[in-house]
Amino acid sequence: MLTKSELLRLRSLREKKHREELGLFVVEGEKVVAELLAAKFPFVELYATEGWEQKRVPAESAPPTLAARTIATSEMERISHFPTPSPVLAVGRIVREPLAPDDLRQGLTLALDRVQDAGNVGTLLRIADWFACDRVVLSPDCADLFHQKVINASMGSFAHVRTHTAELAPLLGSVRAHIPVLGCDLDGDDVHELSRLENAVVVIGSEGRGLSPGVAAQVTRRVSIPKFGRAESLNAAIAAAIVCDNLRRISRAPAS
Amino acid sequence: MLTKSELLRLRSLREKKHREELGLFVVEGEKVVAELLAAKFPFVELYATEGWEQKRVPAESAPPTLAARTIATSEMERISHFPTPSPVLAVGRIVREPLAPDDLRQGLTLALDRVQDAGNVGTLLRIADWFACDRVVLSPDCADLFHQKVINASMGSFAHVRTHTAELAPLLGSVRAHIPVLGCDLDGDDVHELSRLENAVVVIGSEGRGLSPGVAAQVTRRVSIPKFGRAESLNAAIAAAIVCDNLRRISRAPAS
């Protein structure tokens, strides 16, 4: 049985303020918790209702490095952040890996400039994972990385992708002399015609507002996805996916 | 002032059953209504609260082919399908254009197989619009095309894209001898290496469940988006966008 203070603590993690205070975040949902366990995500607490352990697909699951504490369904209902609680709730520690500007000079970086929709941020992590981006850097005004909606929308990619939070304008300013900083725009260079770029930063702005002025000023090359019809724009995640697909396609082609 | 029966009728259009009975659907939201008016969408009724007319940006708006009926904010609150009503609500007639199987032999068709999330269907319409797909065919178990969430997520592309609803398996069965029917899959041919296809059907399945078996059986060529990292999958709209971007890129390249 959970004590009252345990209940309150777990419930409090719904709010970013409390997550930051305690340095902890919550993940719920059978599928996403199973995926994160399979990726050996270092959870620090695990709560499950009776029968959850049996439902785990063994092939998908890591060896039980952390035993689940069995709680009653009524308790799960009280600690869950969802209207319909899942049979499992995991608690992870918020870890923020340091980022040196020089790190950006190696590999493909996806930089998110004030992408505030949590579902979009999660989808962008999944895209970064699919295309093996070396890191994702979020501006401090993006949706909180440790919000459940981000983690759920990432479908487990949350555990695969290296993420950092940083002010983008000074960070990009310090590397733009060394590697290309690509920004998506409506009248940039055709993304189909890019040359091979092994090391680059792709900056994705918020839908509707685009790149913030300070970040736009650090872009060294504006790229566009050719439009054939009449839609005004594509959403941020779709634009990011198309740019990454083209960069990876070009980097595989024989050097010309 | 609206009569009680007008209020009830407008409110009833939240439900698909009533939309089908009356052959009408509702669009709300300043931006999307302005976009659809600019695209000369043939609305049949238009309701607005005081001051809306002045806020329309003239350049974006079609000449007023339909006068807005001014109603009180309290009335708008009652007819709106949203918790926070917009200053304008438009009513359109449900029109279903007939589709002959031979129509699919010309141009690029996006076929949606049981895509049930309304936001995804709207996003797919926007992608079809961007890449100038000649038509979108929805299986009957897709999200309802006349659901507000679909129309809002399409960001005005609802008015640009030709849409049809049809059972996909027999439709594709009758054209597969004449044009390629591409289905996205995890172990198909590399989408980067496709040859030029001016006429094709791209079938997009539901996220999670993929293509239904009857539809999968009609696919003539399975295509895959190369994966470089570890994500299990990409979402349906993102996969569709990447396939369309590659098809359009290849169709622009000099014939080899």
Interface residue A126 vs chain B (CB under 8 A): yes
Contact A231 B192 (CB under 8 A): no
Q: For A110, list phi and psi in degrees, rounded to 5.
A: -105, 120
Structure tokens at B41: 């969408």
Q: Which residue has the higher pLDDT, B141 or B51?
A: B141
Q: What is the pLDDT of residues B87-106, one digit of tens each?
A: 999 999 999 889 998 999 99
- Domains in chain B and their CATH numbers? 4-93 (3.30.1330.30), 101-252 (3.40.1280.10)
Residues 6+ apart with CB under 8 A from A225: A184, A191, A234, A239, A242, A243, B130, B245
Interface residue B51 vs chain A (CB under 8 A): no
| Alpha carbons B60 and B162: distance in angstroms, whole number | 22
Q: For B50, list phi and psi in degrees, rounded to 5.
A: -50, 135
Quote the minimal CA–CA distance from B38 to chain A in Å: 12
Quote the minimal CA–CA distance from A6 to chain B in Å: 34
CA dihedral (B72, B77, B82, B88) in degrees, to 10, reads -10
Q: Which residues of B touch A160 (CB under 8 A)?
A: 229-231
Contact A155 B227 (CB under 8 A): no
Query: CA–CA distance from A15 to each of A6, A76, A97 (Å)?
Result: 16, 18, 22
Quote the minimal CA–CA distance from B254 to chain A in Å: 13
Q: In which element (H, E) is residue B82 found?
A: none
Count Cβ atoms below 10 Å from residue A66 Cβ, excluding itself: 15
Interface residue A254 vs chain B (CB under 8 A): no
What per-residue confidence (pLDDT) applies to A67?
A: 86
Contact B245 A249 (CB under 8 A): no
What per-residue confidence (pLDDT) applies to B94?
A: 94
Q: Which residues of B touch A245 (CB under 8 A)?
A: 225, 242, 245-246
Nearest-by-Cβ selection for B229 from A123, A160, A230? A160
Distance spanning both ends of chain B, measured CA to CA? 66
| pLDDT at B256 exceeding the cut of 70 | no
Nearest-by-Cβ selection for A241 from B133, B156, B238? B238
Q: ipTM > 0.85?
A: yes
What per-residue confidence (pLDDT) applies to A255?
A: 58
What per-residue confidence (pLDDT) applies to A217?
A: 97
Q: What is the pLDDT of residues A7-19, one digit of tens each?
A: 999 999 999 999 9
Nearest-by-Cβ selection for A160 from B129, B230, B242? B230
Pick out chain A residues at pLDDT < 70: 54-65, 255-256
Nearest-by-Cβ selection for B241 from A130, A156, A242? A242
Residues paired with A50 in a beta bridge = none
| pLDDT at B171 exceeding the cut of 60 | yes
